[in-house]
Amino acid sequence: MDEMTVSLAQKGQTASVASIRDHSIVMDRPSSHGGSDAGPMGGETLLASVGGCFMSTFYAAAQARSVPVEGATCRVTGVFVPNPRRFGAIRIEVTCDSCPPEDLAHLVQVAERGCLVAATLKEGIEVSASVATQPR
């Protein structure tokens, strides 16, 4: 797989629907920021993407090492910086009821290295926007 694409379409006056394979996610701003609160904001979805990718990698690492995983949780926090307002840091905190502490620490380290989203953000990435030349 050389590329991955997600399509978004307008939903109402302030929301968009992201189409991902057979799934869809409504994204919007809260009403306090001029939206209709039809779904999470893009920044919240970015944090959820980091957490989802991280935990998927964590589970795969545990399975490969025969470490039982029960009651695992992940908390992803974005720390804002100004000008332009963005996340200056993202912190991932993991708990697991069934993992021995030394296994948990190792699995977190493996997942941090192996998570596509975290690795992309750590390395930095070019982001560009343009007008599509053809309607889709």
On the question of a cis peptide bond just before residue 84, with omega within 30 degrees of 0, the verdict is: yes
d(CA 52, CA 104): 17
pLDDT digit string (tens) for the chain, length 136 residues = 799 999 999 999 999 999 999 999 999 999 999 999 999 999 999 999 999 999 999 999 999 999 999 999 999 999 999 999 999 999 999 999 999 999 999 999 999 999 999 999 999 999 999 998 876 6
CA–CA separation, 12 vs 20, rounded Å?
19
The model carries a pTM of 0.91
